[in-house]
């Protein structure tokens, strides 16, 4: 199995439906691109969820869940 790296870009569509990205791959590399329209309704929650898991690293949570 080959390890793959997923990259996420937040971009705006330009005139004529164009989207331009600068990627860290060499010229001629074969890429697969998934396009998903952004939904601003959950952006804040998504950012919070991706930012840190420190919220769950506390003695009260450990005591409750380790003995569950």
Distance CA 10, CA 16 (A): 18
The contacts found for 30-38 with CB under 8 angstroms, 24 or more apart, are 38/10
Distance CA 45, CA 53 (A): 13
What are the φ/ψ torsions at residue 6 (nearest 5 degrees)? Answer: -95, 135
pLDDT tens, position by position, 34-58: 888 877 777 777 777 777 777 777 7
pLDDT tens, position by position, 9-38: 989 999 999 999 999 999 999 998 888 887
Q: What is the pLDDT of residue 68?
A: 64
pTM of the model: 0.47
């Amino acid at each position: 199995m080959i390890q793959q790296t997923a990259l996420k870009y937040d971009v705006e569509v330009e005139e004529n439906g164009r989207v331009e990205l600068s990627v860290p791959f060499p010229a001629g590399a074969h890429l697969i691109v998934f396009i998903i329209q952004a939904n601003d309704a959950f952006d804040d929650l998504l950012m919070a969820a991706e930012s840190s898991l420190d919220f769950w690293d506390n003695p009260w949570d450990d005591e409750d869940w380790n003995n569950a």
